Structure 1
Amino acid sequence: MIDSLSPRAVVVLPGGLGGPFAPLPLFATSAAAARGAQVHRAWWEAPAGLQHSERSEWVAPRATPVLDEAAAAVPGGSVFVVGKSLGSAAAPLVAERGFSAVWLTPLLTDPLVVAGLRAARAPFLLVGGTSDALWDGQVARELTPFVLEVDGADHGMEVPGPLAASAAVLGQVATRIEQFLDETVWPRSR
């Protein structure tokens, strides 16, 4: 049963490769959709050679229409953002709109992303791994109390060893997102 007192939407801002149907954003989106959220997806593939300093300028015009579309679809409702890697370059846009989010392997080495996260007024969950060069666990814990850090996980949240170990990490991420939605973003009525 969906426990929804107001309309809900989820916006998917994918990473540079794999689009919104890559496993991490797909599971996060499924968690929100199972809780009654309409799904709005940005589609992109980052151009080869996109410089770090160009990320925000490249992402902003692609993310803005989808964020605005979702907000217009649920007037007075709640928008939740699922951002993977490159999608986290939209953190300033999400913060200024007051949307909650889960940032999957966010670019915590990018000052513009970190500044956008610092400006957020709504709760957000950060998910990353200790073997990801773009993750900074200390910064993550300074930004939010909602952090899932997986020891040994890389930028795709894969860990060394059998594939089943990486599949277990995906399950761990999905469970943490469901908990975040149910306890923080859209608490279930008792």
Structure 2
Amino acid sequence: MSPRRRAAILLPGRNYGVQGPLLMFSHVAVQSRGVRTFPVTWSPPSNLTEDPQRMVDWVSDEVTKILNKIETDDPPLLIGKAVGTAAAGVAASAGLPAIWFTPLLHHYPVVQAMRRSAAPFLLVGGSDDPYWKPELAKSLTSFICEVKGADHGMFLRGRPLADSAMALSQVVKAVESFLDTEVWPRHG
């Protein structure tokens, strides 16, 4: 297979690594489609989220360094969780498709970057996540997966754990559908 084949970059949150279920299942989903994955490990400054523009600048610098090191035939897919969604500006500037889990829709620079994006992106959030803004999300993209009752960690608190697993199943289906119809449609 060509060394320049498709690629996906997995961007963690502040306290949510690439081994977390949202990113781990996305990792498997893209790999099963023959995509090289680049899981990122980072240690953001502890007060990073206090200043939205500083967060965007720091994440953008980290992601740009990674993009400069990889070669692909197609624009790479960015997949980010929370703080990772601060890479929306990089995605918009470079025309990269994206999947954004629990996006930080309360931060103006993140929202403005998403507004500029011409490439398709999927937003995944929970109705009980204080950072999820359903009407705003719908104004940014038609690719939405909202999990009723899910918090910022995509858990359904106070309910049986199996309910959170079912919510994860809903998210995985949305991710695979987005990959197969928008990012890498299968040609028959």
Q: Measure the CA separation in 1 of the matches of 2:57 and 2:182.
A: 31
Aligned position for 1:43: 41
1:20 equivalent to 2:18? Answer yes
Instruction: Give TM-score scaled by structure 1 length.
Output: 0.91
Which of residues 99, 105, 108 in structure 1 aligns to 2:105?
108
Aligned position for 1:61: 61
Range with bigger deviation, 125-134 or 46-55: 46-55
Q: CA RMSD in A?
A: 1.6
Displacement after TM superposition at 1:142 (Å)? 0.3
* Aligned pairs for 1:121-132 within 5 A: 121-132=118-129
Displacement after TM superposition at 1:141 (Å)? 0.3
1:157 equivalent to 2:151? Answer no
Which of residues 116, 133, 138 in structure 1 aligns to 2:135?
138
Q: How many residues align?
A: 183
Q: Measure the CA separation in 2 of the matches of 1:178 and 1:141.
A: 20
* Contact kept? 1:63, 1:90, Cα under 8 Å: yes
Deviations 1:78-134 (A, max 9, x none): 311101100011100111111111000010111100011011111000000111111
Question: Unmatched 5+ residue regions in structure 2?
Answer: none
Aligned position for 1:3: none
Letter in 2 for 1:52: D
Question: Unmatched 5+ residue regions in structure 1?
Answer: 1-5
Moved over 2 A (4+): 45-50, 67-70
Q: Measure the CA separation in 1 of the matches of 2:101 and 2:68.
A: 21
Q: Percent identity?
A: 41
Range with bigger deviation, 175-184 or 56-65: 56-65
Q: Measure the CA separation in 1 of the matches of 2:31 and 2:62.
A: 22
